[in-house]
Amino acid sequence: MIKDEMNFEDIYQKLSDKVYGYIYLMIGEAETAEDLTQETFLKIYNNMSSYRGQSSISTWAIAIARNKTIDYIRQKKRRSFFSLQKKSLVDHSDTPLEILEKGESVVELFKGINQLKFDYKEVLILRKIKELSIKETAYVLGWEETKVKVTTSRALAALKEKIHSRKGYFSDESSG
């Protein structure tokens, strides 16, 4: 069914940045995000015949990327559990150039998102950064639409509290 809509090269060209961006926001490591993006598109290529059109190709690709990302996070946690070294799993610090390019408030926003629990982080990335609809987000996460709405609301409140407690960046005017 996917072959009728576009070929693999078109899918890759159209969606690779979106998939990479999602993975990068979830794990914060550029090189690993590139590797997982490649793995995602390899899986898409190998499973093109199984696409049934229950969601958009974009949503289907993000769902595959999510599964690859979760698998990676689980493996990394297992490895770190058995590691004798104690170190941070992800370096959330930005380079000075990134701070200048994004502006300090955006940096604080992303630091706040990275401090949230996994479900909150994931739903905010999908809904507010990747701009998936409630229905698309529910498909990717395997949740009911109601859960997406409630979790998004709770995640935004938690994020606002995190950032407010760190530096007082959110005012009532900018919380919308």
| CATH code of residue 150 | 1.10.10.10
85/115 same-domain check? no
42/70 same-domain check? yes
34/56 same-domain check? yes
62/100 same-domain check? no
Q: Domain ends where: 45, 71, 91?
A: 91
80/107 same-domain check? no
Task: Give one DSSP letter per residue of the chain, joined into a string.
Answer: -HHHH--HHHHHHHHHHHHHHHHHHHH--HHHHHHHHHHHHHHHHHTGGG--SSS-HHHHHHHHHHHHHHHHHHHHHHHHHH-SS---SS--PPPHHHHHHH-HHHHHHHHHHHHS-HHHHHHHIIIIIS---HHHHHHHHT--HHHHHHHHHHHHHHHHHHHHHHH----GGG--
Please compute the mean of the pLDDT values over residues 121-136 and round it to a whole number: 91
9/63 same-domain check? yes
Q: Domain ends where: 68, 91, 114?
A: 91
What would the pLDDT profile of 45-93 be if each residue is shown by its tens digit?
A: 999 988 888 889 999 999 999 999 999 988 887 665 544 444 444 444 4
What is the number of structural domains in the chain?
Answer: 2
Sign of CA dihedral 124, 71, 62, 17: positive
pLDDT value of residue 101: 52
Q: Domain ends where: 74, 91, 108?
A: 91
What residue numbers bound the domain in which 150 lies?
Answer: 94-176
What would the pLDDT profile of 11-39 be if each residue is shown by its tens digit?
A: 999 999 999 999 999 998 999 999 999 99
Q: Return the higher-pLDDT residue of 144 and 6.
A: 144
What would the pLDDT profile of 104-124 be if each residue is shown by its tens digit?
A: 567 777 888 888 999 999 999
